[in-house]
Amino acid sequence: MLCTSTSYAQETTDSAGWWQHTKNRLGNIVDNGAEELYLSGYSYHGRNTYTAERIRELNEKAWGIGGGRTFRNAAGNDESLFFFGIRDSHSKPQLMAGYAYEWVFDIPKTPLEFSAGYTAMLVSRQDYFGGFPFPIPLPIAGFGTKKAKLMASYVPRLSSNKGNGDVLLLFARFEID
């Protein structure tokens, strides 16, 4: 299904329900989005959430690679579909696949922009649910140009107990079309 921006807008207003709207939106990203490469290299664990001893045990070199497609919509915002594999905090594989929406803000008189939004994804980690994929929504932000951005996502502290969550993941997104 090839959708142009005009036909996509028409399809989304004429669709009978949210399921058709979602399929049209995702199909548009696949058909019209730019191919991208994702590279990861660093995760920061909050120093107030983890003990110094625990920080020394955790992997903060979250090396990883992934790919995706991003479509700049009629409102000038980015919609992405992606898959990504990184080394988690325990140096085990963490696999992710999902959707991201970023509101894009141009920096006047430069090619630079920053973005902020959210991602909804499925994540597979060996230390949660025996590796069975689970859904998670997270905030996402970026800074750079349309073709190359430094990106960040944040996993908030998951409970009042210390020792889980409060992790900032830094990665880069490059357009390869």
CATH number for position 118: 2.40.160.20
Do 23 and 101 belong together in one domain? no
Do 47 and 128 belong together in one domain? yes
Predicted confidence (pLDDT) per residue in 3-43, tens digit: 444 444 544 455 469 899 889 999 999 999 999 999 998 99
Q: Spell 39-64 as b/e; 16+ CB within 10 A means b.
A: ebeebebbeebbeeeeeeeeeeebeb
- Which of the residues 45, 78, 153, 166 is marked catalytic? 45
Parent domain of 2: 1-32
Length of the chain in residues, anyone?
Answer: 177
* Overall domain count for the chain: 2
Do 162 and 134 belong together in one domain? yes
90 belongs to the catalytic site = no
The residue to which tokens 């509101």 are assigned: 103
- Which of the residues 89, 115, 153, 166 is marked catalytic? 89
| Predicted structure pTM score | 0.86
Do 15 and 100 belong together in one domain? no
- Tens digit of each residue's pLDDT, the chain (177 residues): 344 444 445 444 554 698 998 899 999 999 999 999 999 989 999 998 888 999 999 999 999 999 999 999 999 999 999 999 999 999 999 999 999 999 999 999 999 999 999 999 999 999 889 999 999 999 999 999 999 999 999 999 877 777 778 999 999 999 997
Do 109 and 62 belong together in one domain? yes
- Which of the residues 43, 80, 88, 166 is marked catalytic? 88
Do 21 and 49 belong together in one domain? no
Q: Tell me the residue type at 112.
A: L
Do 166 and 85 belong together in one domain? yes
Q: Please name the residue ranges forming H helices in the chain.
A: 5-14, 18-32, 52-57
Do 98 and 159 belong together in one domain? yes
Contact 142, 127 (CB under 8 A): no
In the structure encoding, which two tokens stand for residue 163, read together? Answer: 């020792």
In the structure encoding, which two tokens stand for residue 74, read together? Answer: 């009629």
